[in-house]
Homo-oligomer: A and B are copies of this chain.
Amino acid sequence: MQGTISDASVVAAPTAEEEAALRELYANFEANNLMPLWTQTNDLMPFHPRPRAVPHVWKWSTLYPLAQRSGDLVPVGRGGERRAIGLANPGLDGRAYISPTLWAAIQYLGPKETAPEHRHSQNAFRFVVEGEGVWTVVNGDPVRMSRGDFLLTPGWNFHGHHNETDHPMAWIDGLDIPFSQHNDVGFFEFGSERVTDYATPAFSRSERLWCHPGLRPLSGLENTVSSPIGAYRWENTDRALAEQLLLEEEGQPATVEQGHAAIRYVNPTTGGDVMPTIRAEFHRIRAGTKTPVRREVGSSVFQVFDGRGAVVLDGETRTLEKGDLFVVPSWIRWSLQAESEFDLFRFSDAPIMERLCFARSQVEADAR
């Protein structure tokens, strides 16, 4: 096993007889479902992660009109299940995977449409960069979707969506489909064709039970593997970030680094990540701030929520506007630059890396 194998080390000028013997050996290997390690030119064990996935930016100005056009041309319903368009990493052979572990898609629901209920082992969330008017119904609990909200449908919870308005709505779906697919862990079940509850309450039951800071219902003392909160509202996220920046101005420790406020969405029963495979965070960067150059094991996806700025991906600067998405594959250098106050939603496979003890990260001393 090695980094870059030089075959030279293996056979130095073999004789014709030796070559014939080797050929026979290799034919025998193949006939018996065996593969010699020492002739493999591809890197089974590279010196550091060398992802096939590449850094890439998708522009919201491209994405949204295509989703809209799909709304005109393609129905939604049982079978297709969702009008979702996956972001396909150019390095991943034409599969709709944004990274080896993560799926990201724009989902579009027309006026009065319903996406039928189903459930699956795959963990899912939605993040709303604009719009309102759709309720997602998770295990019978209707959850309003509005700009800035982060919504959960952890594995094996029934969920469907319906649009109560006469305007369409689009949002981002994030799932662990590629991970589940590669590792053969997925189960799927159809539910009701219509959602089970068309009520449109301002707050879901999950929020009414769980969204009181530091207070845990005595009816919910058992820890759960995923967060019981159905929706993390923008108002709370915004306030938390604003307070961090104010505290920083008052000279108090509160931000993750100078000019960089950030929160992690967590499971209130444990304080840990919202789902076993997906981490979600929200970052706010002061105008003029550049974050240090980082690289991490595992892949991340960001979506710009507000403001203007840029990301430097492996040395290349890409400007960003509201709605733009980009992926940072494993061990690729990245940093953010805020032209105005710059708000970004982030999700990643970090819980996988941490739970399996593969996490590593590096911050470069000079971030200029």
Contacts and interface: CB of A to CB of B under 8 A. Distances in A.
A121 to B, nearest CB: 6
Contact of A82 (B1, B211, B360): B1
Interface stretch (A125-133, A164-172, A236-244, A304-312): A236-244
Contact of A81 (B2, B187, B239, B269): B2
Contacts of A317: none
A363 interface: no
Interface residue SS majority, chain A: loop
Contacts of A205: 247, 250, 252, 254
Interface in A1-60: 1-3, 5-11, 18, 21-22, 25, 28-29, 32-38, 40, 44-51, 53, 56, 58
Contact of A214 (B35, B66, B266): B266
A73 B20 CA distance: 11
Given A5-B79, A211-B214, A37 B262 contact: no
A29 B85 contact: yes
A163 interface: no
A144 interface: no
A51 B40 CA distance: 24
The number of times this chain is found in the oligomer is 4
A319 interface: no
Contact of A184 (B22, B100, B180, B227): B100
A66 to B, nearest CB: 6
A287 interface: no
B66 A25 contact: yes
Given A73-B22, A219-B254, A243-B208, A214 B187 contact: no
A298 interface: yes
A198 interface: no
A79 B180 contact: no
A55 to B, nearest CB: 12
A101 to B, nearest CB: 6
Contacts of A217: 240, 244, 254, 256, 262-264
Contact of A34 (B88, B236, B246, B299): B88
Contacts of A7: 79
